[in-house]
Amino acid sequence: MLRFGAPSTTITSSTAVTTRVSPTTSSHIPFTVSPLSDSRRSSSYCFQQLLSCSSRLNSHRNKATAEAAETMSGSIVSASGSKQALISLSDKKDLDLLATGLQELGYTIVSTGGTASALEKAGINVTKVEELTKFPEMLDGRVKTLHPNVHGGILARRDQNHHMEALDKHNISTFELVVVNLYPFYEKVTSPNGVTFDDGIENIDIGGPTMIRAAAKNHKDVLVVVDTQDYPLVLEFLKGNKDDQQFRKKLAWKAFQHVASYDTAVSEWLWNQISPEDKFPPAFTLSHSLKSSLRYGENPHQKAAFYTDSSLSEFNGGGIATAIQHHGKEMSYNNYLDADAAWNCVCEFEKPTCVVVKHTNPCGVASRDDLIEAYHLAVKADPVSAFGGIVAFNKPVDEALARDIREFRSPTDGETRMFYEIVVAPSYTEKGLEILRGKSKTLRILEAKKNKSGKLSLRQVGGGWLAQDSDDLTPEEIKFDVVSKKVPEASELEDAKFAWLCVKHVKSNAIVIAKNNCMLGMGSGQPNRLESLRIALRKAGDEVKGAALASDAFFPFAWKDAVEEACESGIGMIAEPGGSIRDGDAVDCCNKYDVSLVFTGVRHFRH
């Protein structure tokens, strides 16, 4: 199925339908197709049809003035005296269902190439488009439907006498229905084996979008269909023989949105061919598809919805947007934000790790060979915040872990069973999933794939968007320069790297205190770094002695400020970016208290 475009909406109309030939090597994308006229007729029959056409057009002219003020919905038929449908499909799913239904309703089906062949095999009478155009398909199929005999029949306004007179003069029949879906460009350029530039270009559809746009523009008279899921509703609408302009407008909107999404993918692909290393083109368009309507936004008075990103860059990109929900209540706006924060954080770690998040901030993080132990330590870091939070694991959840999650009591009183909004992991054993489902009817259980690195990060501001590279740096890519007299032990440096990995996911101003691959305390979101430090120290308690501290940005002051307070508390090592004009004070302060200090040269602000 085509991965970009709007959610399906059905719209009906009595217009002609055309078909086109799709590349034989391309994969199928669902699109709507319009039926074509019957196979070749005898010359006497054609003469009768022309006479019928003239009579029909004259009758139409007499009624045009009286009916111009009314909305017209396909009551005008083609010059041949029958209603015409134009069908051109790459994805031929349910083509026989649609064509049979249209034939039963008296439609003549016009089609091209592969679609026409499929219709003939299904026993459906079909007129090939070249019989209409009196011109053969040419340029390796690039030119098939780009002809006045096709587009005149689509674009002619039935309430305009001069339009109908022009059709009469040139012996052009109207189309009441146009059913088209496009070459599978998205699927072609994202195929596992890749695609050459020339092959990608050949899979850019030209005739299809042209017919879709023409029919959508003239939607008052022509019904346009681009989604196979709309076939049953369209047939039902046509059977009713009634006008519904709202339905027609919805189908027209869907058609334009479909083409816009298609062109967005082409544009993104071409830019990547031109400047593969440049993520910031002079202009770009985003294509999103509605995944779900949400109960509300951040607050009950705010309406909200969730959309998936259909960009080529997001193909197989992982992340919460593509997670599978195995159990629980529907996801809310805040659930998505918190689950995304927890998943992004836990995926940073190679060792078995558990992350607990509350309001997008990790309040507990621990890595252990035993994932159950890691889970206990992550909750213990801040059990009050963990209650009602999100728990994320970077390894599969088995039966033993699931049972522990279900029964684990709060470390604060040893009695209260821990409650969570969401559990997210890369996979679950069958028994583990069964046990977790028994914890609560509301517990949301998500299975997600790791986020692909190198993505573009977008954030909206009033009237515009900010774009930046995602913050994908890991401690292994950063040099921890020792600037103090005391050189840290290997274990202390590992603690600093662990804290550094955690602090990049905490809202600024951010401080994380950690020891033995376990977060002991964190301070987040404070207007000044000193307050964040004090919060982190309070949460760490007596365990702060000898622990490592990481700061997401440099300390502007040292003496009688955050650095000195950290040293006085018993912190054994501090990791910070450096870069302050008072870095020397921080070094002197750490030397005075015999604390190791390292500069990373990398800041991790998170607003």
**Residues that are catalytic:** 217, 359
Closest CA to 308 of 282, 289, 293, 295: 289
CA distance 266 to 190: 12
User: What are the backbone angles phi and psi of residue 505, rounded to the nearest 5°?
Assistant: -105, 5
CA distance 33 to 359: 47
Cis peptide before 509 (omega within 30 of 0): yes
Closest CA to 354 of 384, 336, 375, 340: 375
Q: Is 5 helix (H, G, I), strand (E, B) or coil?
A: coil
Residue entry with tokens 């209260």: 416
Q: Parallel, antiparallel, or unpaired for β 481-482 and 596-599?
A: antiparallel
Residues 29, 93: contact at Cβ < 8 Å? no
Q: Is 224 helix (H, G, I), strand (E, B) or coil?
A: strand
Q: Which residue type occupies 333?
A: Y
How many CA atoms are closer than 13 Å to the CA of 11, on its beta-carbon side? 32
Residue entry with tokens 């794939």: 449
Residues 90, 258: contact at Cβ < 8 Å? no
Q: How distant, in Å, are the alpha carbons of 60, 64, 162, 221 from that of 166?
A: 13, 14, 6, 17
CA distance 581 to 570: 25
Residue entry with tokens 């910070």: 576
* 3-class DSSP string for 10-76: CCCCCECCCCCCCCCCCCCCECCCCCCCCCCCCHHHHHHHHHHHHHHHHHHHHHHHHHCCCCCCCCC
CA distance 76 to 81: 9
| DSSP-derived secondary structure for 563-581 | HHHHHHHT--EEEE----T
CA distance 215 to 16: 9
What token pair was written down for 477? Answer: 């890519």
Closest CA to 77 of 156, 181, 179, 170: 156
- Which residues make Cβ contacts (< 8 Å) with residue 127, sequence separation at least 6? 36, 37, 38, 39, 40, 108, 109, 110, 111
Q: Is 178 helix (H, G, I), strand (E, B) or coil?
A: strand
Residues found in the chain: 607
For the chain, the 3-state helix, strand and coil shares in percent, each to the nearest 5, are 40, 20, 45
Q: Is 592 helix (H, G, I), strand (E, B) or coil?
A: helix
- Which residues make Cβ contacts (< 8 Å) with residue 464, sequence separation at least 6? none
User: What are the backbone angles phi and psi of residue 483, rounded to the nearest 5°?
Assistant: -115, 0
